[in-house]
């Protein structure tokens, strides 16, 4: 059927085309390069049996002054390839990779000139955020019902055509100082990937992150 | 030799390092040298070690790069890295390991990987790297285990399945397996299917290697749930199977049975529960695409119309119908239908894009543009498509303009695509030092490779080919604006001439003033809002300046060189090279092009054409006089015997031989006919006869449904028609051909087939309209919301029977 795999640099042109075909929010190639060269683990594509890219997710880690969290920059699946759960699978793959990154990374590097190195302290909360059009029922349902996102805020006139956006958030699997492990059973395939993430937990690192 | 420039090292602080000179970074030796200097000066800065290593790697010195990284590691503390640098350190380790792999030190790579496992953050990358190494080392049992583990993490990655098969000795790139292997594969997927019941990959992959009855059973159990669920991409998923011999027939039978069963019993055969009504619709939907693929457009249309009648609100149905009409040769009708689909969901850009695509295919460029900008940012709407590098649109526009002979606008579009590629090439420069800091070294190296191959990507290839074709046309018939206009002018009496000139000058001045005013307005906007100015006004919106280029062939050569460098395995590249170089009188370069074509595909009709045309031209050249000419002559004498097709034969004989070899192929016969008109111009009648005597045989006696499927393709028949009308210059023959093809392709607008929209009171369209309205006396007919003009025209002369 459709293959879900990590994106490579060679996929970027096809991802851009898919984005331009499906969504009015578009980006120049440089932005795609920025994503893959910063967080290569977070970009996934859906590739059909003919080798065509029919969906993608573009994600990043957001480096703000008070916290570090994941953010979904863009997600699209061709209309012809809906009802296959591709959006869910892409999101799940990206979220899983984010969880891994959030377990270890406190550092944020600002890349704005004059290339000043900014070290940012991170506190507790690990979550992933995204924006969705208020009127986009289908996407909204996907995020809330299937993937477990909640509305965090409304950003008025977020989109270029003036439409409002819901700023949505989903808590990710807790860090080491969360003492109970919830297994997020992702909706792909039959296997449970939590067996894998369990092994990632370092036994000795349960102390909370210090300043 | 290009110099590497960088700001004086002594005065520099790492943060301020700007690698402007990295524009010339492919001066790798220089790069290595500079990075070594930096490292010597500032050995405690991590970036300098990494930078030096990367430089060595890029300079094909992978093992040295590894040494540098190991030396760097040696400078680190045991408890390195701190938590906040774990990601970067992990990436560096993975990079080092991939270097070891690249250098062939696979054992060591695996050792290193396992040793450093706790320090590698990206667990997925770790496993993928590990399994690749295990495979290389032939440790297939371990590889098998690891692939199974990877599958448990993601059973939707079919590369893992391929890897698993490889480790079990059950993978064949050609897809051919022995019966014993097939049994083993069956068993493998049966067990995987139990484990990963939710993955469709486990069920889809067997359809590739199974055949006959087993295939039929597996296919049926695969298809049924998708039809019930209503998955629009089912056909697309199965379409590769249509190239496997026999499977298309099995699928046809299978799905027709399902259709029959649902229509008669309301459910699948052998099942008690009834299917929801939508199942029938999705079955018809599948069949429509199936018959479309098999070239039976009449049946395909019948099926899709039935589906539409069943549930007229499903957009996918109209999209597929649009595609069928396009394949069948009626792009205008296809565009109209795509527009109908678009209007059913104005908030969805996908249907909008599909519609725009169809409109461009139908050469409705203005309408396409209006439709496309519905989804662009306000302001300079048209520019937005360019700013966002919307290459599919620019390419499709360019190709449409080219078809219509509007070379200026076509060139503008093709060159726009080329500019994007140039911009993307520039993009890399901002990332060189960034990546060294972020340590995403594997991806960085991947990016550099991507950049080096950038111009081999399809959009660029098509744009370059389009641009070259424009320049060729321009060369062959120079634009009206200069030559013809001057001629017309010279015929006028002097007083009129003066008036005309004054008028022209005034118009130019006005245009210039307008442009200036716009610029000023932009500038004041800047000062007022403090924001960056809007894009400068395009002074050549219709590409007129591009047409007035001094030397079109020189321009064409620029693009040709890029094609030759990056797409040298494409026949088209060399065909274009032939055309350009023949016109430039570059005999040896044209010869080279012919040689490439023979190497790639000696039996191709285009290769034959070029071969004959070349040696015909050479044969008509005057005896060499200058030294240069003598040299060329010498080379030609030496090269001619290397062409086996021409050995010991005249061109006429070679042409006849080619015909013998490919008697049954229309395209080959057409090439031969064209060459007869070149080498034996007096035998034009024979050439035309050759074409007209071609027979369009049946592909296979395929089922009882619909028109029989014949061999000839619409595209080829159109090319032959053009050949008859232009090069062979026989209007009557062209007309006869057209009438004949209208029979074969009733939906073709080009041939004015009886069912096409080009024929205004085609019986097909009458029936269709009657069908839509229900009552034959309705005078107003449904129009899509943007008042589609094409439909109106087609219905103007509608005669209700």
Contacting residues of A for B200, CB less than 8 Å apart: 1, 84
Cβ-Cβ contacts under 8 Å, B204 against chain A? 1, 49
Q: What is the dihedral of CA A30, A36, A37, A39, to 10 degrees?
A: 130
Task: Give, in order, the Cα–Cα distances in Å from B440 to each of A8, B93, B443, B756.
Answer: 13, 11, 6, 56
Q: What distance in Å separates residue B737's CA from the closest CA in chain A?
A: 36
Query: Which residue out of A8, A15, A22, A26 would a mutagenesis test of the B interface target, given it has the greatest number of B Cβ atoms within 10 Å?
Result: A26
Q: A104–B87: do the CB atoms touch at under 8 Å?
A: yes
Q: Flag if A84 and B231 touch (Cβ within 8 Å).
A: yes
Please report the pLDDT score of residue B13 as a whole number.
Answer: 42
A159 HSE (CA, 13 A, CB side)? 19
H or E segment to which residue B48 belongs: helix B46-58
Q: Which residues of chain B have pLDDT under 70?
A: 1-26, 378-382, 479-494, 497, 500-501, 504-505, 507-537, 700-705, 760-801
The span from the CA of B51 to the CA of B48, in Å, is 5
Contact A111 B123 (CB under 8 A): no
Question: Taking a C-beta distance cutoff of 8 angstroms, is the pair B335, B314 a contact?
Answer: no
Contacts of A33 in chain B (CB under 8 A): 427-428, 431, 447
**Chain B residues closer than 8 Å to A89 by CB:** 156
Å from B177 to nearest chain A CA?
20
**Residue A190: per-residue pLDDT:** 37
- Chain A contacts of B388, Cβ < 8 Å? 20, 26-28
| Residue to substitute from B233, B352, B453, B459, interface A, most A β-carbons within 10 A | B233
A40–B427 CB contact, under 8 Å: no
CB contact under 8 A, B15 and A115: yes
Give, to the nearest 10 degrees, the angle between helix B714-725 and helix B731-744: 170
Q: Could you tell me the two tokens for B759?
A: 């024929």
Would you call B440 helix, strand, or coil by DSSP?
Answer: coil
- From the number of C-beta atoms within 10 Å of its C-beta (0-12, 13-18, 19+), residue B212 rates as exposed
Residue B651's CB: how many other CB atoms inside 10 A? 20
Confidence of residue A117 (pLDDT cuts 50, 70, 90): very low
**pLDDT at B125 (0 to 100):** 94
Could B156 and A4 be called an inter-chain contact, meaning their C-beta atoms sit closer than 8 Å? yes
* Residue partners of B422: CB distance under 8 A and separation at least 6: none
Question: With 70 as the cut, is the pLDDT of residue A105 above it?
Answer: no
Cβ pair A79:B351 closer than 8 A: yes
CB B59 within 8 A of CB B28: yes
Task: Find the CB nearest A22 among B14, B316, B349.
Answer: B349
Least confident range from A7-16, A88-97, B77-86, B695-704: namely B695-704
Q: Residue B336 and residue B322: Cα distance in Å, rounded?
A: 8
Name all contacts of B173-179 with Cβ < 8 Å and 24+ positions apart: B175/B208, B175/B209, B175/B244, B177/B209
Interface contact flag, B239 A191, Cβ < 8 Å: no
Structure confidence at residue B381 (pLDDT): 58
Given a cut of 50, is residue A53 above it in pLDDT?
yes
Using a CB-CB cut-off of 8 Å, the residues of chain B touching A9 are 443, 446-447, 449-450
CB pairs under 8 A between A and B: 198
Spatial CA neighbour of B408 closest among B547, B559, B555 = B547
Taking the C-alpha atoms of residue B163 and residue B166, their distance in angstroms, rounded to an integer, is 5
- pLDDT reported for residue B647: 84
Q: Distances in Å between the alpha carbon of A107 and those of A59, A117, B394?
A: 17, 10, 41
- Distance, in Å, from the CA atom of A120 to the CA atom of B559, rounded to the nearest integer, reads 48
**Residues facing residue A129 across a β-bridge:** A71, A169
Which residue spans within chain A are E strands per DSSP?
Answer: 3-6, 44-47, 53-63, 68-77, 127-133, 150-155, 165-171
Q: How far apart are CA B230 and CA B224, in angstroms?
A: 10
pLDDT at A179 over 60: no
Residue A142: which of A76, A47, A59 has the closest Cα? Answer: A76
Contact B157 A12 (CB under 8 A): no
| Contact yes or no for A101 and B376 at CB 8 A | no
What confidence tier does A204 reach under pLDDT thresholds 50, 70, 90?
very low
B10: closest CA of chain A, how far (Å): 18
* Residues whose CB falls within 8 Å of the CB of residue B544, separated by 6 or more in sequence, listed in order: B408, B481
Closest CA in chain A for residue B345:
A79
Is the Cβ pair A135, B347 closer than 8 Å? yes
Residue A71's pLDDT is 93
CA gap B178, B171 in Å, rounded: 11
Q: Residues of B with CB below 8 A from A26's CB?
A: 388, 390
Q: Where are the alpha helices (DSSP H) in B568-701?
A: 571-583, 587-601, 605-619, 627-639, 651-661, 666-679, 684-692
Cα B675 versus chain centre, distance: 31
- Which residue is closest to A22 within chain B, CA to CA? B350
A-chain residue closest to B376, CA distance: A24
Least reliable range by pLDDT among A113-117, A143-147, B441-445, B749-753:
A113-117
> Is B236 close to A9, i.e. CB distance below 8 A?
no
SS3 B627: helix
Taking contacts as CB-CB distances below 8 angstroms, the residues of chain B near A192 are 152
Residues of chain B neighbouring A21 (CB-CB closer than 8 A):
349-350, 353, 392
Chain A environment of B434 (Cβ under 8 Å): 37, 111
The span from the CA of A139 to the CA of A165, in Å, is 12
What pLDDT score does A144 carry? 94
> Does the structure show a pLDDT above 60 at A122?
no
Q: For residue B39, give the 3-state DSSP assignment.
A: helix
Give Cβ neighbours of residue B546 (< 8 Å, ≥ 6 apart). B408, B411, B412, B415, B540
Which residues in chain B touch residue A43, judged by CB atoms under 8 angstroms apart?
Answer: none
Q: Residue A82: which of B17, B232, B428 has the nearest Cβ?
A: B232
User: CA-CA distance, B551 to A200, in Å (whole number)?
Assistant: 65
In terms of Cβ atoms closer than 10 Å to its own Cβ (0-12, 13-18, 19+), residue B359 is buried
Contact flag B388-A20 (C-beta cutoff 8 Å): yes
Residue B81, CB half-sphere, CA atoms under 13 Å: how many?
23
Phi, psi of A91 (to 5 degrees): -60, -45
B684-694 pLDDT per residue, tens: 999 999 999 99
| Confidence (pLDDT) at B27 | 75
- B434 vs A37: CB contact, 8 Å cut-off? yes
Going from the C-alpha of B138 to that of each of B17, B104, B147, B155, B262, the distances in angstroms are 45, 14, 14, 24, 51
B656, with CB counted inside 10 A (0-12, 13-18, 19+), is middle
Cβ partners under 8 Å of residue B303, min gap 6: B284, B285, B287, B288, B291
Which residue(s) pair with A45 in the sheet?
A: A5, A56
A93 in Cβ contact with B156 (< 8 Å):
no
In Å, what is the CA distance from B20 to each residue of B3, B38, B420, B430?
11, 16, 20, 9
Tell me the chain B residues in contact with residue A190 when contact means C-beta distances shorter than 8 Å: 155, 195-199
* Token reading at B571: 């026949």
The nearest CA of chain B is from the CA of A192 a distance in Å of 7
Task: Say if pTM beats, i.e. exceeds, 0.80.
Answer: yes
pLDDT at B645: 84
Q: Cα–Cα distance between B282 and B221 in angstroms, integer?
A: 16
Q: Which residue of B has its CA nearest to A104?
A: B83
The residue ranking higher by pLDDT, A168 or A114, is A168
Between B464 and A118, the higher pLDDT residue? B464
B156 closest CB neighbour out of A3, A8, A38: A3
Angle (deg, nearest 10), helices B123-136 and B140-153: 150
**Closest CA in chain A for residue B453:** A10
């Amino acid at each position: 059927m459709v293959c879900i795999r990590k994106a490579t640099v060679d996929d970027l042109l096809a991802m851009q085309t898919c984005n331009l075909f499906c969504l009015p929010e578009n980006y120049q190639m440089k932005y795609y390069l920025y994503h893959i060269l910063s967080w290569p683990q977070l970009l996934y594509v859906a590739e059909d049996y003919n080798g065509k890219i029919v969906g993608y997710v573009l994600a990043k880690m957001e480096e703000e002054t008070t916290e570090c969290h994941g953010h979904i920059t863009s997600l699209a699946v061709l209309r012809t390839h809906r009802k296959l759960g591709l959006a869910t699978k892409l999101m799940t793959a990206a979220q899983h990779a984010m969880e891994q990154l959030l377990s270890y990374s406190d550092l944020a590097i600002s890349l704005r000139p004059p290339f000043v190195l900014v070290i940012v302290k991170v506190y507790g909360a690990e979550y992933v955020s995204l924006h969705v059009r208020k009127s986009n029922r289908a996407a909204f349902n996907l995020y809330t019902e299937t993937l477990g996102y909640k509305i965090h805020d409304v950003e008025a006139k977020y989109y270029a055509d003036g439409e409002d956006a819901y700023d949505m958030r989903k808590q990710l699997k807790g860090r080491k100082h969360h003492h109970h492990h919830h297994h997020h059973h992702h909706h792909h395939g039959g296997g449970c990937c939590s067996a894998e993430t369990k092994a990632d937990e370092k036994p000795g690192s349960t102390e909370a992150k210090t300043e | 030799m290009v110099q590497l420039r960088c700001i004086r090292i002594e005065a520099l602080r790492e943060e301020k390092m700007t690698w402007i000179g990295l524009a010339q970074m492919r001066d790798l030796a220089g790069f290595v040298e500079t990075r070594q200097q930096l490292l010597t000066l500032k050995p405690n800065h991590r970036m300098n070690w990494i930078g030096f290593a990367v430089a060595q790697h890029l300079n094909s010195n992978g093992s040295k790069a590894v040494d540098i990284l190991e030396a760097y590691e040696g400078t680190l503390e045991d408890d390195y890295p701190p938590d906040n640098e774990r990601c970067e350190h992990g990436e560096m380790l993975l990079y080092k390991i991939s270097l070891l792999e690249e250098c062939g030190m696979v054992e060591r790579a695996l050792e290193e990987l396992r040793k450093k496992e706790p320090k590698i953050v990206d667990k997925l990358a770790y496993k993928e790297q590990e399994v690749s190494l295990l495979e290389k080392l032939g440790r297939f049992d371990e590889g098998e285990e690891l692939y199974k583990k990877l599958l448990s993490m993601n059973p939707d990655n079919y590369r893992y399945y391929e890897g698993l098969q490889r480790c079990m000795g059950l993978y064949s790139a050609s897809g051919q397996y022995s019966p014993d292997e097939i049994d083993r594969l069956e068993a493998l997927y049966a067990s995987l299917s139990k484990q990963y019941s939710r993955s469709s990959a486990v069920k889809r992959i067997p359809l590739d290697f199974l055949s006959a009855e087993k295939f039929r059973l597996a296919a049926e159990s695969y298809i049924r749930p998708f039809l019930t669920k209503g998955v629009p991409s089912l056909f697309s998923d199965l379409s590769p199977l249509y190239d496997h011999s026999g499977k298309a027939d099995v699928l046809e039978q299978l799905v027709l049975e399902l259709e029959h069963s649902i229509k008669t019993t309301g459910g699948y055969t052998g099942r008690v529960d009834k299917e929801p009504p939508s199942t029938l619709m999705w079955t018809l939907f599948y069949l429509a695409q199936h018959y479309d693929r098999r070239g039976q457009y009449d049946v395909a249309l019948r099926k899709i119309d039935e589906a539409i009648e069943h549930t007229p609100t499903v957009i996918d149905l109209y999209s597929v119908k649009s595609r069928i009409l396009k394949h069948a040769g009626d792009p205008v009708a296809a565009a109209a239908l795509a527009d109908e689909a678009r209007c059913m969901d104005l908030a969805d850009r996908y249907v909008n894009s599909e519609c725009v695509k169809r409109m461009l295919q139908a050469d409705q460029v203005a309408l396409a543009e209006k439709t496309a900008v519905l989804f662009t940012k306000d302001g300079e709407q048209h520019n937005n498509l360019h700013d966002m590098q919307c290459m599919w649109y620019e390419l499709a526009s360019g190709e449409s303009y080219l078809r219509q002979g509007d070379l200026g606008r076509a060139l503008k579009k093709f060159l726009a695509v080329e500019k994007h590629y140039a911009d993307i090439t520039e993009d890399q420069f901002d990332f060189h030092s960034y990546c060294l800091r972020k340590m995403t070294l594997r991806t960085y190296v991947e990016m550099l490779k991507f950049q080096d191959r950038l111009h081999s990507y399809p959009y660029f290839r098509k744009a370059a080919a389009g641009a070259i074709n424009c320049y060729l046309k321009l060369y062959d018939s120079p634009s009206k604006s200069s030559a013809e206009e001057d001629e017309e002018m010279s015929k006028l009496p002097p007083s009129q001439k003066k008036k005309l000139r004054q008028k022209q000058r005034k118009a130019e001045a006005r245009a210039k003033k307008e442009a200036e005013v716009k610029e000023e307005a932009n500038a004041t906007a800047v000062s007022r809002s403090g924001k960056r100015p809007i894009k400068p006004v395009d002074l050549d919106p219709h590409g007129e300046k591009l047409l007035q280029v001094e030397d079109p062939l020189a321009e064409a050569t620029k693009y040709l060189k890029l094609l030759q460098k990056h797409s040298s395995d494409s026949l088209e590249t060399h065909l274009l090279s032939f055309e350009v170089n023949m016109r430039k009188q570059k005999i040896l370069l044209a010869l080279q092009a012919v040689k490439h074509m023979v190497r790639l595909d000696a039996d191709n009709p285009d290769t034959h054409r070029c071969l004959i045309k070349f040696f015909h031209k050479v044969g008509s050249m005057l005896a060499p006089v200058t030294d240069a000419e003598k040299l060329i002559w010498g080379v030609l004498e030496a090269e001619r015997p290397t062409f086996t097709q021409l050995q010991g034969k005249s061109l006429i004989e070679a042409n006849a031989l080619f015909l013998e070899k490919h008697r049954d192929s229309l395209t080959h016969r057409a090439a031969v006919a064209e060459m007869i008109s070149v080498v034996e111009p007096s035998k034009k009648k024979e050439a035309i006869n050759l074409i007209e005597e071609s027979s369009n045989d049946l592909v296979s006696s395929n089922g009882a449904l619909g028109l029989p499927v014949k061999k000839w393709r619409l595209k080829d028949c159109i090319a032959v028609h053009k050949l008859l009308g232009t090069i062979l210059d026989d209007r009557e023959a062209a007309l006869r051909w057209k009438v004949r093809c209208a029979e074969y392709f009733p939906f073709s607008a080009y041939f004015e087939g009886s069912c096409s929209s080009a024929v205004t009171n085609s019986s097909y369209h009458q029936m269709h309209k009657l069908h839509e309205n229900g009552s034959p006396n309705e005078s107003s007919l449904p129009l899509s919301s943007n008042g589609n003009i094409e439909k109106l025209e087609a219905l103007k002369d509608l005669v209700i029977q």
